[in-house]
Amino acid sequence: MPTILENILFLIICSLKQTKSDMLHERSFLMAKKNVFLHFLSNYIVVLLLFFTLFVMGPSEIFFGNYKEFGFVYQEFGWKFLIFAFLISFIFTLVISFFPDKLGKYILSVFWGIGIAGYIQTMFLNRHLEQMGARAEAYTASPSKIIVNSIIWATIIFGALLFAKFQQNIFKKVMLTSSLIILGMQCVGYISLFPSADKSAFTYYSDKDELILDGSKQFTVSSNDNIILFILDNFSSTYLASAVEKYPDLKDFLHDFTYYNNADCNYHGTYPSLPHLLTGNDLDPSLSVDDWLEDCWTNTTTNDYFSILSDANYKVNLYTPTTSILTGNHSLPLLDGKISNITTKQSSICIDYHKLYKTMFYMSCYRFMPEYFKSFFDVSNATYTSIVSYPENTILHANYDFYNHLIENGLTTDSSGNYFIIQHLNGTHEFTTDENCQFDAQNATCQSTVKGIFTMLEAYLNELKTLGVYDDSTIIITSDHGDVEYPQIIFFIKEKQESHESLNGTNAPITLDELVPTIVQSLDKDYSEFGYSIHDFYPDQQRERLLYIRDYDASYPDVPRYDGISSGGSNVYHLYNYTGNIDDQINALQNYQYTTIPMVDSYF
């Protein structure tokens, strides 16, 4: 007996193409229905290739490769995308049936050409494409790369059209066979993603004792003494110089500060820079990510550092969106006893489904699209890190979110002790902030983003002054790293009771190695155990400095990612050794003056 679907398709298509009696005149009713159904099915498979890649394989591979970063489980979008892919393919195939056979054939060939080109782009042309918001600027590719990539896409699509025109019968077989083969391979790959993931990809962790950072006091300072550390992600000193050209009075409100314009981050990348910055522990490339992070938080020197802070009655409150950079697979108990704002996880969770669906689709398109269109689908890390929130425990990371909350609610004070506040904000990790510190992804530039950040900082300092705690606060404004081409960072410091009419400046050659000793020195404690402070270096001093930049080198073996989900995006560190200022550093970078150090595993 003919199926209901066959009957429906037959009647719809017959009404569009020709009358039912015409079809019956050519062949038997059952044979006509079978041919129509098979023709529709073959077209459906070709259309499905495109939508299965975009809505199923792309989002699924991205999710399972990064699910520990996202914070939501596969069920939130996976099955919906799967159903949608089959449904939208059916609709498009049906629409194609509305057109005359000749036109429908060309439309189908375009679907097939795009599907094949996108598959080739994803599998072979996206070598080491960063997926998770690793750049400050939107995605860009060199003109030559865009041209070559466009030629590949155009050749495939126009080749499909010509093939359909001159080799119609062969082309139908080629289309169907290739679509079936690729869909089959993708289905096998899709199924294989599930057993390779652990239960946290499918089930929210509900252990009542799970620890997270508490964001409830992100806008609370001590009414006594404060050490306030702003870590503005990916903030290169060259970004600041560019912004000052447009906004000459940009830094005027920092008149009580000293600016170190020759500051080195030691390590490019939030990992390993952030744990180094917070603990003072130097990277050991011979250790795995987990082993090094454990050593960061448990070694004797780190224990002594946090003991000094505790003895001085300081609560260390850390606000950062991604704690795995600090803990690896160990989770937050590794920091317990050192970081004060650690609490048990709240049960309530809020998911922005519109942002979730759009983000996963955009990330898939970002992989799938040719080079020219990738920038239109590049997703900022501030977007995907804000999909999931805990209403009872929100940590604000985006510049504009932090600023808007500050303006609306101000700061509050706590007299129970001193505060060491660490605000890790998005900084210039993406240029998405306007000069008024509002979100503007379309028109924002490097200069406007910097201006917006300084608008935010000025508002924060004004709040400290209003509360009467500014003078007794040590305030440091810096970054974990700069841009990969210009890695030197900003570094401003105002020490307790420091005051002058205009911003001081120095080119003393400092690094983030000196941050922990400087903080200990600010407490009038002996800091010799921790190394040199920034005050131990003088202007124009010639100092040899080292800079680690993670990279991929095909002559070295791939390494696993720290969480075991996939291979690491990097496999070596390039260690640069230079003496002098930013020009000497850039010269070393541009002339590849590095030593290669293989990784054990990779965080990213």
From 92-101, 356-365, 412-421, 537-546, the region with the lowest mean pLDDT? 92-101
More confident residue, 70 or 118: 118
Distances (CA, A) of 480 to 2, 131, 237: 67, 20, 12
Cβ burial, residue 124 (10 Å; 0-12/13-18/19+): exposed
State pLDDT tens for residues 169-221: 898 899 999 999 999 999 999 999 999 898 889 988 655 568 889 999 999 99
Q: Is the pLDDT of residue 21 over 80?
A: no
Q: Which of 80, 104, 81 is nearest to 16 (CA)?
A: 104
pLDDT value for 214:
93
Which tokens belong to 538?
A: 């003088």
Which range among 133-147, 436-450, 552-566 shows the weakest confidence by mean pLDDT?
133-147
Q: What is the DSSP string of 320-371?
A: -S-THHHHTTS-GGGTBTTBS-EEEPPS--EE-HHHHHHHHHHHHHHHHS-H
Report the SS3 class of residue 589: helix
DSSP 240-297: HHHHHHH-TTTTGGGTT-EEESSEE-SEESHHHHHHHHHH-PPP-TTS-HHHHHHHHH
pLDDT single digits (tens) 277-292: 999 999 999 999 999 9
**Which whole number is the average pLDDT over 377-386?**
80
pLDDT above 70 for 61? yes
Position 18 pLDDT exceeds 80:
no
Question: Scanning the structure block, which residue is given the tokens 């990992």?
Answer: 271
Say how many C-beta atoms besides its own lie within 10 A of residue 468's C-beta: 10
Distance CA 585, CA 579 (A): 8
- Give 433's contacts (C-beta < 8 A, 6+ positions apart): 399, 400, 439, 440, 444, 448, 449, 452, 453
Stretch 251-271: mean pLDDT:
97
* pLDDT reading at 101 higher than 90: no
Using CA atoms, how far apart are residues 118 and 111, in angstroms rounded to an integer?
10
- The DSSP bridge pattern shows strands 388-389 and 211-213 to be unpaired
Q: Prior bond to 321 cis, omega within 30?
A: no
Q: What is the pLDDT of residues 292-338, one digit of tens each?
A: 999 999 999 999 999 999 999 999 999 998 899 999 999 899 998 99
Instruction: Give the pLDDT band of residue 2 (cuts 50, 70, 90).
Output: very low
Q: Which of 196, 197, 213 is nearest to 335 (CA)?
A: 213
Q: Are strands 510-511 and 263-264 parallel, antiparallel or unpaired?
A: parallel
* Predicted local distance difference test score (pLDDT) of residue 142: 86
Q: What is the DSSP letter of 316?
A: E
pLDDT at position 26 over 80? no
The dihedral over CA atoms of 528, 529, 532, 536, expressed in degrees to the nearest 10, equals 0
Would you state the pLDDT for residue 386? 81
Determine what percent of the chain is predicted with pLDDT higher than 90.
Answer: 77
The pLDDT value given to residue 204 = 80
CA distance 288 to 308: 29
What would the mean pLDDT of 350-356 be, rounded to a whole number? 93
What span, in angstroms and rounded, lies between the C-alpha atoms of 357 and 364? 11
Percent of the chain with pLDDT over 70: 91
**Across the beta sheet with 491-494, what order do the strands follow?**
314-319, 418-425, 226-232, 473-478, 491-494, 258-260, 504-506
Q: What is the DSSP letter of 378?
A: P
Inter-residue contact 332 to 213 (CB < 8 Å):
yes
pLDDT digits (tens, 9 = 90+) for 73-95: 999 999 999 999 999 999 999 99
Q: Which amino acid is at 5?
A: L
pLDDT exceeds 60 at position 5 = no
Token output for 127: 């070598």
Residue with tokens 């689709």: 361
Of the candidates 98, 89, 3, which has an alpha carbon nearest to the alpha carbon of residue 47? Answer: 89
